[in-house]
Amino acid sequence: MNETGLWLEGAKRLPSPNCDARPPGVEVDLLVIHGISLPPGSFGGPWIERLFLNRLPGDRHPDFEPIHELRVSSHLLIRRDGGLIQFVPLNLRAWHAGVSCFQGRERCNDFSIGIELEGTDETPYTDRQYQVLAKVTGQIFHLFPAITNERIVGHSDIAPGRKTDPGPAFDWRKYRALLADKL
């Protein structure tokens, strides 16, 4: 880690303004897996990055108008081709979880790392995404030993009824099998 924060080697850096310091004394001990596509069901465009950088044009697509002024981010995004983009240093708080609760603790952004996978609840994620996700998770385990297999959840697990991602298309068994090979 340096004065600008904890950035993963090999990730493309696109620093988001949508982050801040974690509360003093809070240990990072949760990993949250998300799914995202913009517009919904479309892959490969610049729109996810623009959302996290506060540059999403509200008039470019009807689905952008209600969200273009949101101030959200994630630590990492894994594209369909396995491309890895980092928006927020891992030591800072990204604004990815929203209203959330894990094991009775609210405000999951305070103590978690968020990883977005480019996809939808119903579209199978790619093999390359699983491979990169497992590799990155191994790095996160090393950097934050309080995050364990049992402390990896989907956005739907910490915001039930509000969020559904990464959805039924996310193969938890496949991910955990790949992860076991990394440990």
* Average pLDDT, consecutive stretches of 10 residues, N- to C-terminus, the chain (183 residues): 74 98 97 98 97 97 96 98 98 98 98 98 98 97 95 98 97 96 68
User: For position 182, what pLDDT does the model report?
Assistant: 67
User: For position 4, what pLDDT does the model report?
Assistant: 64
**Domain residue limits, the chain:** 12-182
Rounded distance between C-alpha atoms, residue 92 and residue 110, angstroms = 9
CB 95 within 8 A of CB 115: no
Q: What is the DSSP letter of 42?
A: -
Q: What is the CATH number of domain 12-182?
A: 3.40.80.10
Q: Of 3, 116, 118, 150, which one is the catalytic site residue?
A: 116
User: For position 89, what pLDDT does the model report?
Assistant: 98
User: For position 2, what pLDDT does the model report?
Assistant: 39
For residue 30, how many other CB atoms are within 10 A of its CB?
26
116 as an active site residue: the answer is yes
**Nearest 5°: phi and psi at 158?**
-105, -10
pTM greater than 0.75: yes
Position of tokens 């402390």?
151
157-165: long-range contacts, CB 8 A cutoff, minimum separation 24:
157/102, 158/30, 158/32, 158/97, 158/100, 158/101, 158/102, 158/108, 159/97, 159/98, 159/99, 159/100, 159/101, 162/98, 162/99, 163/98, 164/121, 165/33, 165/34, 165/35, 165/36, 165/121
